[in-house]
Amino acid sequence: MIGPLLRVAASAAAARSLRVAAHDAARSAMLTIGAALAVGVGALCLTCSAFILIARSLDPAAAWAILGAFWGLAGLLYFTVARGRRG
């Protein structure tokens, strides 16, 4: 008589812990997506403002070249650091 009741209680506790784990995973994923979106928008805004400032003293093609070189170096640095962490 007690065995089936213990199984029901154990399954309810397991289901609750699974719901909590799923909620934590979903919250973590949403925070990660939000942070990535914020970084992307920030990079876009900073690129546009840098382009406007550089284009005032140089022509637009030179401004784009400078920004392209900057982002290329930033990407190269990122992949170098990421590769170093992997081993």
**Of 42, 67, 43, residue with least CA distance to 53:** 67
Q: Which residue has the higher pLDDT, 5 or 29?
A: 29
Q: What's the token pair of residue 45?
A: 């805004």
pLDDT in tens, 10-58: 777 777 777 888 888 999 999 999 999 999 999 999 999 999 999 999 9
One DSSP character per residue, 1-69 reads -HHHHHHHHHHHHHHHHHHHHHHHHHHHHHHHHHHHHHHHHHHHHHHHHHHHHHHHHS-HHHHHHHHHH
DSSP code of residue 72: H
For residue 42, what pLDDT is reported? Answer: 93
Distance, in Å, from the CA atom of 78 to the CA atom of 71, rounded to the nearest integer, reads: 10
pTM: 0.63
Residue 6: pLDDT over 70: no
For residue 82, what pLDDT is reported? Answer: 87
